[in-house]
Amino acid sequence: MPGFVEIDTVFHDGGIRGGGHAFTLTVTDIATGWTENRSVPDRTAKCVLAALNEISRAMPFPILGVDSDNGSEFINDDLFAWCQGRQITFTRSRLGNKNDGCHVEQKNWSVVRTVVGYYRYDTASELLLLNEIWKLQSMLTNYFHPQQKLVAKVRRGAKVSKKHDKATTPFHRTIDHPTMTVERIVALTRAHSLINPAAIQRQVQALTARLFTLALAKAGPTAQPQVNKRARLREATKTPTRAS
């Protein structure tokens, strides 16, 4: 059933230790793959809840359950009270088991890192650009980017065989779900018909170019992109162990 989501935060520290940089909150629906992102200046409960409130209004269905890792930005009284006040089930992953949140972890790479990279973003202008990008990127990710879901996995000795379903966009998974109301299906279908993906992609590219220019200007004319190669390789080769 749509509405049970996984949440996580992505650091935008540029590989430089220390605080003062932005974070991106990623929220992914387990059933449909629908993903929304919002960037915040820090990981305080106030900022995280503000981003969650905005994302919950952008989701095409109500949030029924939230599953997080064990980060302090999530394991606190504020988020628990937020969930209780909205009758949302709150769960968390096992300590040290990142694949418990495999759906959102995949989007941290396939959506966040592939779009805005590994630069350090620590100014108000960069934060504004990040959130402009996420609102546009949401249309591409959810309406036009097909995704496959793992439906079965069988281990025979050292060999693991996996079976995936047909690649489908989160939009189609959502409107095809039997729990969706006619009103929501009509609204989503109309929204889909009004989007020009080529134009949206050009807008995203223009905004990311401005974002990269700001990030590089702070570091000087000879600066190179800060890339966490180890994390990039790990995320690119990660194989989720939990069936979708």
pLDDT digits (tens, 9 = 90+) for 88-137: 999 999 887 777 888 999 999 999 999 999 999 999 999 999 999 999 99
Query: Looking at the domain assignment, is residue 100 inside a domain?
Result: yes
Query: Looking at the domain assignment, is residue 242 inside a domain?
Result: no
pLDDT, position 208:
98
Cβ pair 76, 44 in contact under 8 A: no
Query: Looking at the domain assignment, is residue 243 inside a domain?
Result: no
Query: Looking at the domain assignment, is residue 72 inside a domain?
Result: yes
Query: Looking at the domain assignment, is residue 215 inside a domain?
Result: yes
Range of the domain at 185: 4-237
Residue 67 main-chain phi, psi, to 5 deg: -120, 130
- Tell which residue, 54, 55, 153, has the closest CA to residue 102: 153
Query: Looking at the domain assignment, is residue 92 inside a domain?
Result: yes
CATH number of the CATH domain containing 68: 3.30.420.10
Q: What angle do CA 33, 63, 52 make, to 5 degrees?
A: 90
pLDDT digits (tens, 9 = 90+) for 5-44: 999 999 999 988 788 999 999 999 999 999 999 999 999 9
Query: Looking at the domain assignment, is residue 61 inside a domain?
Result: yes
Overall number of domains in the chain: 1
Query: Looking at the domain assignment, is residue 10 inside a domain?
Result: yes
